[in-house]
Amino acid sequence: MPDHVITSGRLTARIAADGAELQSVQDAAGQEYLWQAGPQWPRHAPVLFPIVGRLAADTLRHDGQSYRLTQHGFARDRQFAWVERTASTCRLALADDEDTRARYPFAFRFEVFYEVAAATLSVTFTIHNTGERTLPASMGAHPAFRWPLPGRADKSGHTLEFSAEEPAPIRRLTGGLLRPDPMPSPIQGRSLALADDLFADDAIILDKLASKSVRFSAPGAPGLEVSWDGFAELGLWMKPGAEFLCIEPWAGYASPIGFDGEFAAKPGLLLIPPGEQRAATHRARLLA
């Protein structure tokens, strides 16, 4: 199914039905801000649902049964249905079916809504519990932005500036699972100087997040600001040597090392009562 393009004149975004995935973010001059799915990582901005990160042995345990559910869930690899499409918005939806219930035995409707206004792209995730039991779920964004930013020849001199000081320790992963012991944060006050070696030990996870936004910038380059509402955690990730930085607002995180119990008891889940919904929004604002 063809991609859908939305534009405000100052910002143009392209969205695919496959995974409801953002494919491109360009400014009025046609400069691209989103990683274009190179060989180091063949995605742009996958949507994470119904889990963020991994489960132990990629196994979901529920009511005495075991289900195979792999890292970040299945939404990123499913085709969504177009619900609405306009010049500046679009909405896509995914509902449970035989395939999803074989991996995740719950009823749901998951919607992704994109909107552009001026220099801002807003993306809202909404989980609807369409079943008769509590729905345990997580959701997260995984956009990969170009690093170096447009106008810069190399990756040096790039920083993240958080909206609040971030003194709390960070979390790290082993084998995709959350280590038990927090680690000292590399963030100095509100600033993080970016370098490949920050990510030699996989993602940086802020699970005691104070900020509601972060600015990604470098001297002489048009930067961008990522902000969020409804997401409690933030992941930062890249593959050393690759030219992207993922800034990932999350509602949830990987299973802690040693946890292999009932899925609904896993730390970091949203527990949504029947008939209710949970929504969260993240935004990318071009600062050019």
Alpha-helical runs (H) found in the chain: 98-101
- Domain containing 60 equals 4-286
Using DSSP's 3-state secondary structure scheme, residue 288 falls into coil
pTM for the full model?
A: 0.97
Model pLDDT for residues 244-266, shown as the tens digit of each residue: 999 999 999 999 999 999 999 99
Domain count, the chain: 1
> Would you say 22 and 44 are in contact if contact means Cβ atoms under 8 Å apart?
yes
> For position 190, what pLDDT does the model report?
98
> Would you say 33 and 45 are in contact if contact means Cβ atoms under 8 Å apart?
no
Q: Which residues of the chain have pLDDT under 50?
A: none
Q: In this structure, what token pair is assigned to residue 104?
A: 């995740």
> For position 2, what pLDDT does the model report?
87
> What Cα–Cα distance (Å) separates residue 287 from each residue in 151, 191, 214, 216?
13, 18, 12, 9
> Would you say 204 and 237 are in contact if contact means Cβ atoms under 8 Å apart?
yes
- Could you tell me which of 25, 28, 35 has the C-alpha nearest to residue 10? 28
> For position 264, what pLDDT does the model report?
98
**Mean per-residue pLDDT of the chain:** 97
DSSP per residue, 231-255: --EEEEE--TTSSEEEEEEEE--PP
- Residue 168 phi/psi, 5-degree rounding, is -70, 150
CATH number of the domain bearing residue 76:
2.70.98.10
Report how many helices (DSSP H) and strands (DSSP E) the chain contains, helices first. Answer: 1, 24
> For position 166, what pLDDT does the model report?
98
Intra-chain end-to-end CA distance of the chain, in Å: 33
DSSP E strands, 153-237: 159-162, 173-174, 177-178, 191-193, 204-206, 213-217, 224-229, 233-237
> For position 288, what pLDDT does the model report?
76
Q: How many CB atoms lie within 10 A of CB 89?
A: 15
